[in-house]
Amino acid sequence: MEYLVIDLRNNEGGLDEIGCALCDLLTDQEYTRQNLGIRKNAQYKIVSEHGIHVDGEFADLKVVALKNYECVSAGDGTALYLSKLPNVPLAGITDPCGCNQETGGSIVLSGGTIIIGYPVGLILDENSVPNVDTRADRISRNPVEVRIPLDYDAAMKIFRDKQDYELDWAVAYLEGK
């Protein structure tokens, strides 16, 4: 394998541990990725630490990770963990959503037509700060590092020709084109 494209676009999440395991393979440096936490007495406190058990099998591999606004929850967390690796730039037309918190609560309206998920647990970094915390400005705290250009030609490839423009861009990026 010469290159790897990690496609996190439209990733609705799951378990942060899966993203951590992926990072295990792509780094030879150990550091904390995510912790479960609570808010107590107006402060965030870590209650369970989850570090990386470095494997590093693919630490020298040239990688790019694709993400977009539909990259949420553990998908968003995985993008954050990957962004800390020196060999994995994050690329996309848009930034991810900015909501890496443990969801689990839901409000169901209109007979299941509308479902609103909300966090029930905090994902904290090693400094007891929420990993990716959406605020009122709705600006992602983990923006893409490489912006994939969106122009007329790109729009035509996406909408008219039904091409996966972002994936094609990522392959060309890795090949140095």
Query: Per-residue DSSP letters for 11-74?
Result: -----HHHHHHHHHHH-SS--EEEEEEEEETTEEEEEEEEE-----TTTTSEEEEE--TT--HH
Tokens 């494997």, residue?
55
Each residue's pLDDT tens digit, 126-172: 777 777 666 677 666 778 889 999 999 999 999 999 999 999 999 99
Better-predicted residue by pLDDT, 28 or 156: 156
How does pLDDT run across 62-78, given as a tens digit for each residue?
999 999 888 878 888 88
* Distance separating alpha carbons of residues 149 and 74, to the nearest angstrom: 26
Which pTM was predicted?
0.79
CATH superfamily to which 3-174 belongs: 2-enoyl-CoA Hydratase; Chain A, domain 1 (3.90.226.10)
Helix axes 73-83, 16-26, angle to 10 degrees: 20
pLDDT at 33 over 70: no
CA distance 17 to 20: 5
pLDDT at 133: 63
pLDDT, position 157: 96
Q: Hunting for tokens 């295990």 — which residue is that? A: 24
